[in-house]
Amino acid sequence: MREVAILGVGQTAVREHWDLSIRQLAVAAGRAALADADVSRVDAIYVGNMTSGNLNEQHHLGALVADHLGQWGVEAVKLEAACGSAGSAMRQGIIAIASGQMDAVLVIGVEKMTETVMEETTAALVTAADADYEGIHGVTFVSLNALIMRRYMHEYGYQHGDFAPFAINAHANGAKNPNALFREPITQKIYERGRVVADPITLFDASPIGDGAAALLLVPAEQAPGAVRVVGSAVATDTLAVHDREDMLWLKAAQQSAQRAYAQAGIGPEDVDLFELHDAFSVMAALSLEAAGFAERGQGVRLAQEGEIFPDGRIPVATMGGLKARGHPVGATGLYQIAEAALQLRGDAGAAQIEGARIAMAQNIGGSGATIATHILRNPIAH
């Protein structure tokens, strides 16, 4: 199997982009990745997106994006796995290069969510859950996560304030990233005063939606010896409905995809220098740290409290703001994570740079853990 390298990285800032349509967002990120790679023609385009059919009246993004990037005739398709859409697009791009059939693949994650009323967006997001057995009861995506967080607090004896380090770290890091939606640090006091969204989740436990696009240009590693390599890539699924799981506090698909990716890379969690985890909600950050092997069961929050998730800690997370502060344009997020991990390994993360990082992991979650894509990147050159 051919190894894959990331030759180009592009992104738009995450904002309420009132002046940019979904096509313009995707094209801007795609063009930036092509320019960064100095590549003009690709063999395929994989677009990760969740809600364009519901919120933008636009399906068929593969052809749309290929068309407006001037890549006429190219193979293109959209991939959807709820909030795991972009991580899944990355996975297909890697498989395509590995197949030997493609030598230059553009993967783009894009989402345009803020042009509709909030009720429409909330309705679109709950389609990530099981419509017949969860959505039909009126449960929203936030309330499902609230149930999980409440159970976590109950089982492991935490208080709401114990989750603060996840938000404090994310907002501090987002302040250093010009593409982040929120760029103001917060304090423990501000965290504790957060307005309740769905008890116990407050505004500071929930990531904000946004408009944005992130893109990567992938090539076979042998064509780009100095570029960041993808040394692990795996997707795993779990039951769609949370109530069907043996243990709602264990992200089985995170564990499985991380284990597969570790095995491919020939490493373990102890070798990972930074972890772009899927902190859509504070409790998901804790559960990801546990399932991916960075903390024992129930100890994800403890790890955060000990400061180990901060830039100078054992395993920095959300290094450029994470979903919480960079923002969560749902179907684009998985590629923001990988783009940021690649920038960190290249030494191009600016004020958010984690010094000496050589191995980075990104984990993108669809639904409440039903689809999880894990990618491990390595920089062959120390910077």
Residues in touch with its own copies (CB under 8 A): 1, 21, 23, 50-54, 56-64, 66-67, 71-82, 88, 91-92, 95-96, 98-101, 123-124, 126-132, 135, 234-241, 244, 252-253, 256, 366-367, 370-371
81 vs 345 by CB, closer to its own copies: 81
For residue 37, the one-letter residue type is A
List residues with catalytic annotation: 83, 328
* 50 vs 198, beta carbon nearer its own copies: 50
Long-range (24+ apart) CB contacts under 8 A made by 297-305 are 297/249, 297/250, 298/152, 298/155, 298/156, 298/249, 301/152, 301/156, 301/158, 301/162, 301/163, 304/163, 304/165, 304/166, 304/169, 305/162, 305/165
User: Is 169 or 257 the residue whose CB approaches its own copies more closely?
Assistant: 257
> Least distance (Å) from its own copies to the CB of residue 79?
5
Task: Count Cα neighbours of 59 within 13 Å in the Cβ-side half-sphere.
Answer: 2
Q: Are 182 and 172 in contact (CB under 8 A)?
A: no
CB-nearer residue toward its own copies: 94 or 164: 94
Q: Which two tokens stand for residue 118?
A: 């909030």
Cα separation values, 326 from 51, 71, 140, 359, Å: 19, 29, 23, 21
Write out the two tokens for 8. 């180009």
Beta carbon of residue 105, minimum distance to its own copies (angstroms, whole number): 11
Q: Report the amino acid identity of residue 45.
A: I
CB-nearer residue toward its own copies: 64 or 206? 64
The SS3 assignment for 224 reads coil
C-beta of residue 144 within 8 angstroms of C-beta of residue 283: no
In the chain, what is the straight-line distance between the N-terminal and C-terminal CA atoms, in Å?
28
**Between 361 and 365, CB nearer to its own copies:** 365
Amino acid at 98: A
Looking at beta carbons, which pairs linking 155-162 to residues 24 or more positions away fall under 8 Å? Answer: 155/249, 155/298, 156/298, 156/301, 158/301, 160/192, 160/200, 160/202, 161/188, 161/191, 161/192, 162/301, 162/305
We find the least distance from the C-beta atom of residue 292 to its own copies, in angstroms, to be 16
Shortest CB 232 distance to its own copies, Å: 12
Minimum distance from CB of 53 to its own copies (Å)?
Answer: 5
Q: Which tokens sit at 321? A: 């703001």
